[in-house]
A and B are shown apart, each in its own frame.
Chain A
């Protein structure tokens, strides 16, 4: 970024009336939504973004932004935003969901929207379990990780290994798609990924997908130190952070790359 820019404490596109937000202390959602808010501000698209949020902790964001927002059903945010985008391609639509919504109950929607190269941006928050229902196993739960439905730790023999979401999306999309995995441990990089995902939609190139590794101390039962250890050391063993697929036009784009 050129010159000195003073970041406002709260993105302009946030809705001050609904702050402080409702997420738990230490929750990563706030960081992801800050990155999204800043990306919206920088791209000056607040007047044409529609934010769709899923069920799970993501629904707590239903009144988070000064942006038109629709809260849908569990797993169904992707199709709502697909239908909206196709009905009005002028809108910039963001489908915001957790790992349960995107990788379990709504997988068919994610897979097919990606395959069709729908011009939408999906932001999926991966915190390795179902937060709002009380900490059950998700497709992203790490081997050995305790959850309420794997009280003795996830046994990969019985329930498999963590889903490789961005890698899957990258392998089923064509060249116009943008796919990345960021982490709330690197907020500047994450913001860069989200911004590029939005730019890719604005350019009408194709499906844009960002998985954000995120924290859930409440259900991990971790203190601050262990929380960061888990996201930086444990999660990254299975989830590789970085851009997975970048359209050539976007790769050549000027100076938007953020390496955090």
Chain B
């Protein structure tokens, strides 16, 4: 049962992302990316990371993609659609990706002795579940990186504003 869902979601992800990469129209690509994110949150729920799934949807789909769409709006994208979409070296790129896939496949095929599967103690959706565990770990062991991440975001915001600001010459 779980396997089925897993295969379903992963097929979704792969299909959407393949399409996203190949679409000439930027808006279609953006929407396809949002679709990928939805399938991904599915995978996360399967893996028992509910909080992450929700964050994926909220932040990625909601936040970042909205940002993309806005910026697409600001830039007159139509001009680039007519141009040659693919890069001269795209053939090499595809070839390299295929080789890489094949290589990863053999590595995983070879497998290896993973330690025994432990999985999580709590049930899906139970009250002392994923979120509580995540919260406790996040605010004790990883408190410092958490603060750094917030500062990083602040820096990114300021950076974005400075870059994108139109120079108002008095």
Genuine A/B complex: no
Q: B residues engaging A (CB < 8 A)? A: none
